[in-house]
């Protein structure tokens, strides 16, 4: 009975989280459509792209991305309306803060270059990341299929340089692909190496599962004390979107953190629904 109650409780929590992100996904679809309509495709020479990838530099230069703050801001405020009801006082303060377009631009560029600022509230970090990441997705979509990343062997994204959200095992050979937390690009990566520090030591690298469910595993590295969730989508295992797979395995994050590991991605800390 205890297990049944626990599973029912977890199911309810995940149902609430997924419901929240369905709303965010609808907003994101409109936002990405608007971005795609106004953003020029990134111009990058094929030879330069090959040099950058070979040297370990991602294709998208986040410091040079053109930002149309006036166009982006209404979408930021629309997202604020969606999530702000949980903390209306803070939402009002954020609306006042971004009323100055120069302040809003600074927040966007700072998030692009350095990621979420620890000095910002959880709500503001969430808003900025969800505003910036679709921008990177659009640029990555422009480049996908035009420039191959087959020779990329780094543990960070070849498109935007961000950390992986999770890993996915695909095909009969069970090749592992990493999925970017920011632009959602995916790239082939070794199953025996840590995506964070690169160690391939069988002594340092391990993984654990919960309740012997091999579909969801957590890779751990004792060299850097980081972990990465890996979803097995081979065979009869149904394929899930990266977002859904990540959100419906938050219990694995909790277990890994309790074991003393830190996530490779910032998703677990920053992109869960604001309280």
High-pLDDT (> 90) share of the chain, %: 63
- The confidence score (pLDDT) of residue 247 equals 87
Residue-wise pLDDT for 201-223, tens only, equals: 888 999 999 987 888 999 999 99
Out of 63-67, 117-121, 162-166, 267-271, which region has the weakest mean confidence (pLDDT)? 267-271
Residue-wise pLDDT for 65-112, tens only, equals: 888 999 999 999 999 999 998 899 999 999 999 999 999 999 999 999
Q: What separation, in Å, do the N-terminal and C-terminal C-alpha atoms of the chain show?
A: 30
Q: Which CATH class is domain 164-270?
A: alpha beta
- The confidence score (pLDDT) of residue 3 equals 38
Average pLDDT, the chain: 88
| Residue ranges of domains in the chain | 2-143, 164-270
Residue-wise pLDDT for 40-51, tens only, equals: 887 788 899 999
pTM above 0.95, yes or no: no
- The confidence score (pLDDT) of residue 56 equals 95
Assign 154 to helix, strand or coil.
coil
């Amino acid at each position: 009975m205890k297990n049944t109650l626990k599973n029912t409780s977890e199911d309810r929590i995940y149902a609430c989280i997924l419901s929240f992100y369905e709303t965010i996904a609808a907003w994101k679809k409109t936002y990405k459509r608007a971005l795609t309509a106004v953003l020029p495709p990134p111009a990058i020479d094929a030879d330069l792209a090959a040099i950058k990838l070979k040297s370990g530099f991602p294709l998208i230069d986040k410091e040079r991305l053109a930002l149309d703050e006036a166009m982006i801001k209404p979408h930021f405020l629309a997202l604020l309306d969606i999530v702000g009801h949980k903390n209306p006082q803070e939402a009002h303060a954020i609306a006042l803060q971004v009323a100055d377009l120069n302040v809003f631009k600074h927040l966007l560029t700072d998030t692009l270059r350095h990621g979420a600022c620890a000095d910002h509230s959880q709500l503001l970090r969430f808003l900025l990341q969800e505003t910036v990441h679709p921008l990177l997705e659009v640029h990555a979509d422009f480049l996908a299929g035009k420039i191959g990343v087959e020779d990329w062997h780094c543990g960070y994204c070849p498109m935007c340089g961000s950390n992986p959200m999770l890993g996915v095992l695909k095909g009969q050979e069970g090749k592992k692909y990493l999925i970017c937390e920011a632009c959602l690009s995916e790239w082939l990566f070794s199953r025996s190496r840590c995506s964070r520090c690169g160690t391939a030591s069988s002594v340092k690298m391990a993984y654990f599962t919960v309740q012997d469910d091999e579909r969801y595993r957590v890779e751990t590295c004792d060299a850097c004390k980081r972990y990465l969730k890996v979803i097995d989508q081979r065979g009869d295992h149904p394929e899930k979107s990266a977002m859904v797979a990540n959100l419906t395995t938050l219990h694995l994050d909790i277990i890994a953190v309790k074991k003393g590991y830190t996530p490779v991605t910032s998703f677990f800390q920053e992109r869960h629904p604001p309280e």
